[in-house]
């Protein structure tokens, strides 16, 4: 087998197994490797009641400090990942990412990403983001308008 083909195939597999993970924390949702849970919840505008419903943790137990309940922490890290994946599209613009979560999206049946999360459809939202990123990366780059025998360097 061609060694260059093997390297390319391995590179594609490596990308595919990490495609669901944001490359960087463009939104500053982590500090020294630790999630800022309150900032994550605020970005997506999720209340303690929302987080309670999503995770099955009593509203009175939802907190954002070192004693955050494990299910709440896990869900907020998942949301932070989606936010950073979307931020990669918006070049890290936190306002655009916040707006993306807030506004109804026609590609999601006119439901906002935030409401999808509130409705417990986090995985569907992640798959939507991943599919959109894959489609964008697979889209052909438009070629210059030229053809055989056309001299596009001359001005008239």
Examine residue 12 and state whether it is found in any structural domain, yes or no: no
Q: Say what the pTM is.
A: 0.78
Once rounded to an integer, what is the mean pLDDT over residues 133-137?
A: 84
Domain enclosing residue 60, as ranges:
24-136
Q: Which two three-digit tokens encode residue 88?
A: 């990669």
- Higher-confidence residue of 64 and 137: namely 64
pLDDT of residue 154: 47
Q: Which two three-digit tokens encode residue 140?
A: 């052909």
Examine residue 90 and state whether it is found in any structural domain, yes or no: yes
pLDDT over threshold 90, residue 114 = yes
Q: How many structural domains does the chain have?
A: 1
Q: Are 134 and 85 in contact (CB under 8 A)?
A: no
Examine residue 149 and state whether it is found in any structural domain, yes or no: no
The DSSP code sequence of 73-102 is: HHHHHHHHHHHHHHHHHTTT-HHHHHHHHH
């Amino acid at each position: 087998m061609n060694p260059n083909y093997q390297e390319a195939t391995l590179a594609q597999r490596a990308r595919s197994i990490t495609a669901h993970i944001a490359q960087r924390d463009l939104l500053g949702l982590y500090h020294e490797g630790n999630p800022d849970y309150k900032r994550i919840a605020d970005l997506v505008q999720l209340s303690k009641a929302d987080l309670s419903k999503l995770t099955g943790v009593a509203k009175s137990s939802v907190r954002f400090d070192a004693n955050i309940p494990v299910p709440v922490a896990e869900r907020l890290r998942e949301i932070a990942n989606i936010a950073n994946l979307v931020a990669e599209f918006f070049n890290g613009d936190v306002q655009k990412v916040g707006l993306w979560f807030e506004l109804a999206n026609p590609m999601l049946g006119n439901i906002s990403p935030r409401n999808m999360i509130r409705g417990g459809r986090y995985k569907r939202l992640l798959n939507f983001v991943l599919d959109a990123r894959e489609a964008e990366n697979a889209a052909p780059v438009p070629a210059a308008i030229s053809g055989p025998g056309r001299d596009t360097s001359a001005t008239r």
